[in-house]
Amino acid sequence: MKAIALMSGGLDSMLAARIVKDLGIDVIGLCCVMPFSLRDKAEGPQEGSRMDRFARQTGIPLHRADITEDFLEMLVKPKFGYGSHLNPCIDCKILMFKKAHQLMQELGASFLISGEVVGQRPFSQQRRTLQQIDAEAGTTGLVLRPLSAQLLEETVAEKQGWVARQRLYSFSGRSRQPQTDLAVMLGIIEFQQPAGGCLLTDPRFTDRLSDLMKRERLNADNVALLKVGRHYRVGAEGRLIVGRHEKDNQEIGRLAHAGDLIFEPPSAIPGPTALGRGIVSDEDIKLCCRVMARYCDRGAAPEIEIVWRAAGSSERSGRVAKPLSDDELARMRI
Ligand code: SF4
């Protein structure tokens, strides 16, 4: 008997998968790779992460499915709307359950496992919402939620006797203590408490994202850039991203593609790398240079030369620029 467990990297999904595995079911983990995940490389769905180590230790093979494109398409107009910020939690879960259902059919599995706990989140984990998610995803009766199963209707896995209901749990509400106690009991020591959602629940990030959705194309490329550096609006559709530290500067270089401009200080002067996207006019370039001049170490000099090149090209141009004032910068900041 096989089942597909949705794995997020958080404790609840680990517990859910482990509980069912311990009942003798052949559990296969599914990790949906999404564009706004908060989990970093150490925790997340990536190779070598905590989730990977958990999967290896428990003998649960992991499948990874990149749902970025479907997610971004849904994000423009989620059927069930947004939560407190731009988080479309109900539609997000529906998408993941659809993906899990598809994998279930492909691998000949018989049911799905999810780590949701009734009442843990105000928006997406209420009993009625869980039913609605299952109905929309076409998975009614197929999703076993081991942590709250005794409070929910019987699923096919219980009805068929594949898992014993009395070996499942009745956790509910926002307290994390029952999960922590269970983790200790099961010997799961490497876990973190949940951070409260993805980047779509972060007001600072969602301000940037809504600006992007109004003026530019919502695609994986543009979204990846939102996570890096300081952002400035240049003209109607242009954006300048200025690195805050060496890691940002490297990431900016990696994310640049044809059509982008790379701005840098002259080689002897310390300063950031910046990426201009949608920079079209000479006026826009001038403005980008003035933003850059603000962040370069120009000593007592009132001006500094900024150089730029098209991404992928080594042909450089330069312009002497005066730094913008803090007020001017603040007006452009996204
Ligand atoms: S917080 Fe983000 S990842 Fe979590 S359910 Fe909501 S939209 Fe999906």
Who's near 320: CB < 8 A, 6+ residues apart? 303, 304, 305, 306
pLDDT value at position 194?
A: 63
Instruction: Read off the tokens for 295.
Output: 């962040």
CATH architecture entry for 2-186: 3-Layer(aba) Sandwich (3.40)
Question: How far, in Å, is the centroid of ligand 1 from the Cα of 198?
Answer: 5
Instruction: Name the DSSP letter for residue 318.
Output: E
pLDDT value at position 44?
A: 53
Tens of pLDDT, residues 99-142: 999 999 999 999 999 999 999 887 778 899 999 999 999 999 99
- Pocket flag, ligand 1, residue 198 (CB < 6 Å): yes
pLDDT value at position 42?
A: 47
**Ligand 1 atom with minimal separation from the 83 CA:** 6
From-to residues of CATH 3.40.50.620 in the chain: 2-186
Spatial contact of 234 and 284, defined as CB atoms under 8 Å apart: yes
pLDDT value at position 21?
A: 98
**Ligand 1 atom with minimal separation from the 197 CA:** 1
Which among 3, 333, 331 has a CA at the least distance from the CA of 163?
A: 3
- Regions of the chain with pLDDT less than 50: 41-42
Strand order in the sheet with 26-33: 62-66, 26-33, 2-6, 111-113, 143-144
- Residue 316 φ/ψ, nearest 5 degrees: -105, 150
pLDDT value at position 192?
A: 66
Tens of pLDDT, residues 43-68: 555 556 788 888 999 999 999 999 99
- Pocket flag, ligand 1, residue 92 (CB < 6 Å): yes
pLDDT value at position 58?
A: 93
- Pocket flag, ligand 1, residue 94 (CB < 6 Å): no
Instruction: Read off the tokens for 216.
Output: 């530019």
Q: Positive or negative, the Cα torsion across 133, 137, 139, 141?
A: positive
pLDDT value at position 50?
A: 81
Question: How far, in Å, is the centroid of ligand 1 from the Cα of 86?
Answer: 10
